[in-house]
Amino acid sequence: MDLAYLRAHPEHLPTFLTHQRIRETPVAGGDICAASRLTLDDGHSIFAKTWPERAGRPVPEHFFDTEAAGLRWLRAAGTVAVPEVVVALPELLALDWVEPGEPTPEAAERFGRELAGMHRAGAPAFGADWPGFIGALPQDNTPDEGPWSDWFARRRLLPYLRMSVDGGALGGAETALVERVVARIGEFGGDEPPARLHGDLWPGNLLWADDRVWLVDPAAHGGHRETDLAQLALFGGPPQHDRIMAAYREAWPLADGWRDRVPLHQLHLLLVHTALFGAAYRDAVTRAARDALAGAGRATVDG
């Protein structure tokens, strides 16, 4: 099987894998899926991810279709590098292989400019035209005209707060803090039209190559560009973070008060983590909610 054959007959890939007709090398694939590098007969490599048997349940409906749709939508902006989708089937996703490289200053600055360009490409509404997932969890992508603050509270904070409470990850004190954030969501300011978001832009979803940064594993949708940027700062941030942000802000300056809103935007992904992984992220949710409330309504001019 070579790349041309695979493009013409993507439905045959699972059969070739089952019968070990393709050289397969396991690679790191994150916390959700099993991943491997597939080497085809023409020497071309692709990255494949599948739903692991250890998950104990079947792959969620539209799971890989959703990721493929998001990758194609981000790629269509023609700015940030996004791997091409080679195969998208209900049971697996295969992308063109990207050879990892070093996180250079030049690549960081290029990424900052390209990320601003991707955000500027915009979206017709908050949400998307395809079902949403973030990690293994469903995410409501029902298109919504906004305003952003109301949409963010209803679609991105409250659902994962409920999941976290139901799963025992958050107690009464943490729940009350997040509910206060939701109640004051209109005080944060900074509402903007929907940008074209990666949607799960923690540093682990940046793939550094020799000359640029590639985006992988999106939860793509129309949202607020500050959400992508706030997520990027989580868990220690990526290499060359300051250069990325400086280049971004030079290409497209941020609205006044954006620094005060960082914890608000981070709260979404942190609640996803308590919903997925439990109480280990409880303190992070608490800090973000407290910091968000401290910044609510503050007229900091720092654009």
**Sequence-distant (≥ 6) Cβ neighbours of residue 4 within 8 angstroms:** 42
Domain boundaries, given as residue ranges, for the chain: 3-96, 105-295
Residue 302 has pLDDT above 50, yes or no: no
The answer to whether the CB of 218 falls within 8 A of the CB of 246 is no
Please give the Cα distance from 76 to 248 (Å, whole number).
20
CB contact at 8 A, 265 and 254: no
- The average confidence (pLDDT) of the chain is 93
What pLDDT sits at residue 214? 98
Measured distance CA(223)–CA(128) in Å, rounded: 9
Of the two residues 52 and 150, the one the predictor is more confident about is: 150
Question: Domain 105-295 belongs to what topology?
Answer: Aminoglycoside 3'-phosphotransferase; Chain: A, domain 2 (3.90.1200)
Residue 140 neighbours by CB under 8 Å, 6+ apart: 127, 132, 155, 159
Q: How far is CA 233 from CA 6, 30, 70, 95, 239, in A?
A: 38, 18, 22, 26, 10
pLDDT in tens, 182-215: 999 999 999 999 999 999 999 999 999 989 999 9
> Which of 30, 71, 70, 80 has the alpha carbon at shortest distance from 244?
80
Q: What is the pLDDT of residues 134-175, one digit of tens each?
A: 999 999 999 999 999 999 999 999 999 999 999 999 999 999
Residue 136 CA to residue 63 CA, distance in Å, equals 8
pTM (predicted TM-score): 0.93
In this chain, the answer to whether the domains covering 3-96 and 105-295 adopt an identical fold is no
What does the pLDDT look like over 5-20, one tens digit per residue? 888 999 889 888 877 7
User: Residue 211 and residue 108: Cα distance in Å, rounded?
Assistant: 9
Please give the torsion angle defined by the CA atoms of residues 207, 204, 89 and 209, in that order, rounded to the nearest 10 degrees: 10
Q: The domain at 3-96 falls in which architecture?
A: 2-Layer Sandwich (3.30)
